[in-house]
Amino acid sequence: MRFTRAQIWIISVVTIVLVLIVGTVTGIIPGLRKKNIKPPTLTLNVWGIMSEDDGLRESFDAYSATHQNVTLRYEQIDPNSYETTLLNALAAGKGPDVFMFHNAWLPKHFDKIAPVDATNLNLATFRTLFPTIVEQDFAPDGLIYALPLSIDTLALTYNADIFDAQAIAVPPADWLEFQNLIPKLRQINKTGTLARTAAAIGGTNQTVNNASDLLSLLMLQAGTVMTDKGFTQATFAESSNGFFTGIDALNFYTKFSNPTDIYYTWNEQLGNALDSFAQEKTAMIFAYKKDQELIAEKNPLLRFKVTAMPQPNQQDTPVNFAVYWGFAVSNKSQWIPWGWDLILALTTQENSAEVYMQKSHQPPALRSLIQKYADDPELGVFAKQALTARSWPQVNEIAIRNIFSQMINAVVTKQLDSRDAAIQAQSEVSNLIRNRR
């Protein structure tokens, strides 16, 4: 059957019209469809451990001003029960859409959160925005599961008046300088007890607030391989290139609690390190930025300063240790794309992230803000250290913290020598890895 030219023209016009109609309805022609779509009206429930007044409210308000279809509801959860409360809510289908996510949680909770769509944030862009530590913690396999607003790192905090009184003009830059200050800063009374300690180091988590973190840092600084590549077992007590670097780090840490060592400066009878520092009974402690507020509350008149963490002697590249929180989206959320839209707005946009930083007085996570605040008298040390912070995968950070503290205690109390204590701790951490869900 042959069509006339007029019939062919009519058929062509009808075909084009049909294509346009179908394309608009099905989304084959996105441009036309987008013009007719209104964003849904929705509520994002957000959970965290901090007060909304600590910088989040301003960031939330800025987002709501440009996303009037989204209502944000924030709920602050007790930090002591946050993880349990969150897991129970997620299991019951009553959890939040977006929630704060600890930097050590990915090995045990990756199956509860949804990674960002790579079209919204790819790995290359991610690396230009955040320091290496964020990739280690939140994107070890290339998928980005969470993003931080702030990164806190361990730093050396010292009593400026005690340093001045002892004519110590410059704080120690490496561990050799640090240990050589011990005899100068330490005070021992006639009974042989410590009247003033030079530093809170060598004890367990019961007395030294960040003991297990500090020991992890010393191991990482020594180049210790903490786990095998397949993440099937812990390896920090094993030989690395012929050296037992993890055991050496344990020996270095615990010698400060050995009364027979010339660098003895701590014991478990001294009580809490932060209290001792605030009472000017300890000259140096290792603390996070968040600890500074507690110190100031305990003694508003105390004149203390913060400097970078000591590093191994003659080591060109510093290694630091970070503890921080990111934001993640529940994989059970009805609004996963919108949850990530909120997180990206909060964490990757410099203006929003800076508003939070200035209100909360916490160090930044964005590289651009780290550069901007590198010389800030309050935040500069912590900001710069984020660039060289490193971590190791921990399937249960609370359990591992306790295992490391028990390892320290076994050496300090001479229940075990350092090698046996490290091997026992390694075995316990390996069991945690094997038994993970």
Give the residue among 392, 381, 385, 351 at the shortest CA–CA distance from 369.
351
End-to-end CA gap in the chain: 68
CA distance 311 to 302: 26
* pLDDT tens track for 44-95: 999 999 999 888 999 999 999 999 999 999 999 999 999 999 999 999 999 9
Q: How high is the pLDDT of residue 437?
A: 56
Q: Which residue has the tokens 């509801």?
A: 73
Instruction: Find all residues with CB under 8 Å of 48, minimum gap 6, and list them.
Output: 56, 74, 75, 76, 77, 99, 100, 325
Q: How high is the pLDDT of residue 35?
A: 52
Does 168 score more than 80 pLDDT?
yes
Does 2 score more than 50 pLDDT?
no
Give the residue among 424, 429, 332, 371 at the shortest CA–CA distance from 91.
332
- Please, what is the Cα angle at 110 between 104 and 115, to 5 degrees? 110
CA atoms within 13 A on the CB side of 342: 29
Does 27 score more than 60 pLDDT?
no
Confidence of residue 191 (pLDDT cuts 50, 70, 90): confident
* pLDDT tens track for 122-167: 999 999 999 999 999 999 999 999 999 999 999 999 999 999 999 9
Give the residue among 381, 376, 334, 339 at the shortest CA–CA distance from 358.
376
Instruction: Find all residues with CB under 8 Å of 185, minimum gap 6, and list them.
Output: 162, 166, 168, 196, 198, 199, 265, 283, 284
Give the C-alpha distances (Å, rounded to integers) separating 112 from 73, 96, 177, 247, 327.
20, 12, 46, 36, 13
Per-residue buried b or exposed e for 389-411, using 16+ beta carbons within 10 Å of the residue's own CB: bbbbbbbbbeebbebbbbbbbbb
Confidence of residue 26 (pLDDT cuts 50, 70, 90): very low
* pLDDT tens track for 218-239: 999 999 999 999 999 999 999 9
* pLDDT tens track for 302-353: 999 999 999 999 888 999 999 999 999 999 999 999 999 999 999 999 999 9
What are the structural domains of the chain? 42-152+323-390 (3.40.190.10), 156-318+393-434 (3.40.190.10)
Confidence of residue 109 (pLDDT cuts 50, 70, 90): very high
CB atoms within 10 A of CB 153: 26
Share of the chain above pLDDT 90, in %: 86
Does 19 score more than 90 pLDDT?
no
Instruction: Find all residues with CB under 8 Å of 368, minimum gap 6, and list them.
Output: 129, 350
The pair of structure tokens assigned to 190 is: 């006639």
CA atoms within 13 A on the CB side of 340: 17
The pair of structure tokens assigned to 37 is: 């779509």
Q: Which residue has the tokens 């809170």?
A: 200
Contact yes or no for 61/74 (Cβ under 8 A): no
Give the residue among 364, 387, 370, 425 at the shortest CA–CA distance from 212.
425
The three-state secondary structure class of 216 is helix
Chain mean pLDDT for the chain: 91
- What is the average pLDDT across 356-381? 96
Q: How high is the pLDDT of residue 315?
A: 85
- Please, what is the Cα angle at 56 between 102 and 361, to 5 degrees? 80
Contact yes or no for 216/199 (Cβ under 8 A): no
Contact yes or no for 264/201 (Cβ under 8 A): no
Does 277 score more than 60 pLDDT?
yes
CB atoms within 10 A of CB 94: 10
CA atoms within 13 A on the CB side of 307: 14
Give the C-alpha distances (Å, rounded to integers) separating 261 from 24, 198, 252, 313, 417.
80, 14, 11, 21, 16
